[in-house]
Structure 1
Amino acid sequence: MKLKEGFILRTVAGQTVALPSEGVTNLDMMITLNDTGKFLWEKLTVDAEKADLVEALLAEYDVDRERAEKSVDTFIARLKELDFLA
């Protein structure tokens, strides 16, 4: 899976947000990312499978596999809801 083209990350008031590069006319097309979300977002700029994302979280953060899998599942589900994945 991979992010659709046309999204950018910006830091606004100390928070990372992802939004369409054309600008936001619909606030539903904007998502605020925590550090883990930003990390996963950056991994999804190239094609990555769920297992790749889980392994990346395990390598980067002090987290157990169950929590890493749950975090990835939640993040992917939200991106699918917003239609951010190609």
Structure 2
Amino acid sequence: MSDRDPLVHIRMPDTLRKTLQQEAKASSRSMNAEIVHRLLESLSLNDAGYTGTDNLELSGIELGLIGIWRDLSEEQRRSVLILLKSIVSNNDAG
């Protein structure tokens, strides 16, 4: 994250804030980093390759794919990965 990232103010219950503070301390993160980490996890953006160090500019198609991915079972996800790897291998060989 950089100083140029947008600043967002939110309201939250005090018990939630205290819990986040405890979790941030336990994972050696700042409060901000803990909140960003948890948002990324809940949106499955970490699975999509977002590390928090690059600019998050996903297209509508990419966001749609993330949504579809989240709805798949583990077995379906494995099948999709096998298919994608096959497509990439064929492109590399061709």
User: Common fold, TM-score beyond 0.5?
Assistant: no
- For the pair shown, the structure with the greater C-alpha radius of gyration is 2
Q: Which has the higher contact order (CA 8 A, sep 6+)?
A: 1
TM-score, scaled relative to structure 1: 0.28
Structure with greater proportional strand content: 1
Structure with greater proportional helix content: 2
TM-score, scaled relative to structure 2: 0.26
